[in-house]
Structure 1
């Protein structure tokens, strides 16, 4: 049996990266690392259907989640930048 569930924070993070054009700009390995490090800083919120989530979500809660993602993303980029300096 295949269940259709996913972490909503992952969906929102990928939307943010796409909106900023980073999915096309950054190397795939870097993006994978960036996403993993970012998502590990965030809570999980599993959803079944994205359409249902958009219908029932609270605007203030969505804005809070997006803010959390942006902060975690900034920390992750700084972390990766610092570690690239150490390796290089």
Structure 2
């Protein structure tokens, strides 16, 4: 038996990445890292049916969740950028 459950924050994050055009703009590996780092900062909210969530969700709650995602995305980008810079510096020291 396979249950159909999803993390609603993951659904919203993918929508935001798509709406911002980042799904087409950024490399797949970077998107995967960005998504993981971002989702690890957020709470988990499991849902069964996306259509039910759209029907029953409160607008203010949805806006709060999206604001949390945008804040986590900003931190994630800074984190990944800092780690990339650190990696590049370490590589240049080796060469």
Give the TM-score category using the shorter length: over 0.9
Secondary structure of the 1:42 match is: coil
CA RMSD of aligned residues (A): 0.4
1:19 and 2:40 matched: no
Q: Which runs of 5+ in 2 are unaligned?
A: 89-95
User: What are the equivalent positions in structure 2 for 1:1-80 lying under 5 Å apart?
Assistant: 1-80=1-80
Q: Distance in 1 between matches of 2:31 and 2:40?
A: 14
Q: Normalising by the residue count of structure 1, what TM-score does the alignment of the two structures yield?
A: 0.99
State the TM-score, normalizing by the size of structure 2: 0.92
- CA shift, 1:25, in A, is 0.7
Runs of 4+ aligned residues of structure 1 deviating over 6 Å after TM superposition are: none
SS, match of residue 37 in structure 1:
helix
Whole-angstrom CA distance in 2 between matches of 1:27 and 1:43: 26
Q: Which runs of 5+ in 1 are unaligned?
A: none
Q: Deviations over 1:5-47 (max 9, x none)?
A: 0000000000000000000111111000000000000000000
The count of corresponding residues between Structure 1 and Structure 2 is 88
Q: Whose Rg is larger? A: 2
- In 2, Cα distance between the equivalents of 1:62 and 1:9? 10
Secondary structure of 2:43's aligned partner: coil
